[in-house]
Amino acid sequence: MTRPLHHKLATMLGVVYPELDAPALAARLLETMGLADDAAAPPAHQNNWDESDVMLITYADTVQSAGEKPLKTLLRFLDDCLSDTVSVVHLLPFFPYSSDDGFSVMDYLAVNESHGDWEDVEAIARRYKVMSDLVINHMSARSRWFENFKKRIDPGKDYFFEARPGDDLSAVVRPRTSPLLNAVQTEDGERYVWCTFSEDQVDLNFANPEVLNEFVGIIRYYLERGITYFRMDAVAFLWKEVGTPSIHLQQTHELIKILRLLIEHHTPECVVITETNVPNRENLTYLGNANEAHVIYNFSLPPLLINTLVTGNCRHLKTWLMSMPPAQMGTTYLNFIASHDGVGLRPTDGLLDEDEKQRLINTMESFGGKVSYRRTPDGKDQPYEMNIALFDALKGTAEKGADHWQMQRFICAHTVMLALEGIPAFYIHSLLGTENDYDRMENTGRFRSINRAQCQIDRLETQLADPQNHHHRVFNELKRLIAIRRRQPAFHPNATQFTLHLGLQLFGFWRQSMRRDQSIFCIHNITSETQEVSLAEINLIGTDHWQDLISGMAVNDLSGSITLKPYQSVWLSNRD
């Protein structure tokens, strides 16, 4: 009897666990996932998205109302304000946690009682596609598994990665400055556990196949509650080996393939997204051969786009865009310019030189931002990310400081993001135009809290209803642009994209629908000065009728030019 899924899974497992009985382990994982070992494969290179897909990134408790669980308030806000705007909701970790605003999970199978319950999550999943974090690299030091690790009992006894102070850890790559190893007193003596991120976030040991089986069960539980997008948090660090950098190891890539294989056989429309905040070339490897992540974050976009808009020079952004390979069918990019984390600087390695990075850092600090650091293998501390609300990050330029173009610059950034190849993702505080939250940062003592404000729904609704309020203007203009984007086949995440060469003050690219029945020339003035665009230079086809989708302006004289005000964008399309 042919069992293609079982055979394929066993082959993958043999790479990760060469000393184990891979066919037996494969059979066990299939049972845990509830799959027959001859289950049919989903269609190859299937795009589980189109131009109408737009993601919202939010914490479960960002929007609050007195006397109501935040997940219920969030659904009400989504239905009242965003039902025609977003299709995917990334619910940042909504589990019981002990630190890091949810990313130190105590129980993967429970919903934080202060947020709501599984029925609330399922209610959102019935109306929107929901992305959940799979916090797969580490777990809370206050979890039951870790308590069992200290007691030396199962489940948990061998679930966490250990090393010794005398081991050669000099090559390990980390995003933090805290100690890598943490001494823990257990029932059989002192042990040293590996903590990539913090003492409270203890790395799991995937060399133990029991840990893999546990996560397969966790994934199935999420699938059965309607979750269809899985964000694999910090997955680049998943497999550790003493004497290596312990990042991007081959076993990590194989484990992603294994989990994707199981997920898509269970629910073919599911999407796996890897979160790897690393230099661009390293990040691209997580697409594999269309057999690892369906989607990867475009981590270089936020710092490069911010740098472009505060310097008025698109050279580095254009160079990066030209270097990006078109995603294979069945894969794409997640475009974002703000999130719950800071603006990563490692993704600019090889794209900005050190002086340019420092100038960008200095500019963000002058606009009220902070800088977080990481420790390199040689023991030095280097800037890792800039912590700032995007609205404040774009309040001025590097040369002249704050100015009166903040709103236009902010909208321009999102107009670029909306048009690029990939799925656009809006952090809720960018959609609302939220400023730096200094009070929250001081209360928590963490720089990242500067961009993690919490909103009372009554006050938010008042702000969004007031035409004089910048929150109202940001929210409504971004919604208008999103509505335009969602109607354009040329903005399909996998539609053709080519970079235009219009000098350093105009950033442009061309998109063409997969049926070749629509072209859109996306041109953005990234400066505080008026710019002229020669239409002859972009070679619009004379037999087509062209108009700007954003303003509705018809383009009649194809041999002439158009004038772009500071930070103005046009989407010139041959269909409306």
Q: Which residues are annotated as a binding site for substrate?
A: 100, 138, 231-233, 340-341, 448
* Annotated binding residues: 100, 138, 231-233, 340-341, 448
What would the two tokens of residue 276 be?
């790897």
Given 53, 61, 233, 548, the catalytic residue: 233
Nearest Cα residue to 340 out of 201, 420, 454: 454
CA-CA-CA-CA dihedral for 377, 134, 9, 1, to nearest 10: 180
Instruction: Provide CB contacts within 8 A for 554, sequence distance 6+.
Output: 545, 546, 547
Beta bridge partners of 425: 55
Q: Looking up tokens 């399909």, which residue turns up?
A: 492
Dihedral, 471, 472, 475, 481 alpha carbons, nearest 10: -130
Closest to 181 measured CA to CA, from 168, 166, 163, 167: 163
Task: Work out the angle between the directed axes of helices 470-485 and 406-419 (0-180°, nearest 10).
Answer: 20
Eight-state DSSP code of residue 326: P
Q: Which of 236, 369, 215 is nearest to 297 (CA)?
A: 236
Neighbours of 525 (CB within 10 A): 26
Positive or negative torsion for Cα 331, 333, 339, 341: positive
Assess whether 381 carries a catalytic annotation: no
17: alpha, beta or left, given left = phi > 0 and alpha = psi -120 to 50? Answer: beta
Residues labelled catalytic: 233
